[in-house]
Amino acid sequence: AVGHDVSCRVAEHCGFRQEGTLRGAMFEAGRHDAFRDVHLHGRLATDPDPTPST
């Protein structure tokens, strides 16, 4: 979800680029009457391998 910066950094570190934001794509935690935005990350087979960290 938007605001989970650590999760976004992990995805980017693994080679998944942020492609956009899905507005109102998931329920707010513990609720079914409110929605949250979600970042969308993706990786193609043709993308370069992520650089391993040491």
21: in domain:
yes
Q: What is the pLDDT of the chain when averaged over all its residues? A: 88
19: in domain:
yes
Residue 26, CA distances (Å) to 8, 50, 54 in order = 16, 28, 35
Is the pTM higher than 0.75? The answer reads: no
Q: What is the pLDDT of residue 21?
A: 94
**What is the domain count for the chain?**
1
Q: What's 6's DSSP letter? A: H
Q: What is the pLDDT of residue 50?
A: 86
Whether 41 contacts 2, CB under 8 Å? no
Strands (E), the chain: 17-27, 35-42
For residue 35, give its domain range: 5-42
| Cβ neighbours around 20 below 10 Å, total | 10
Which pLDDT tens digit goes with each residue over 37-52?
Answer: 999 999 999 998 887 7
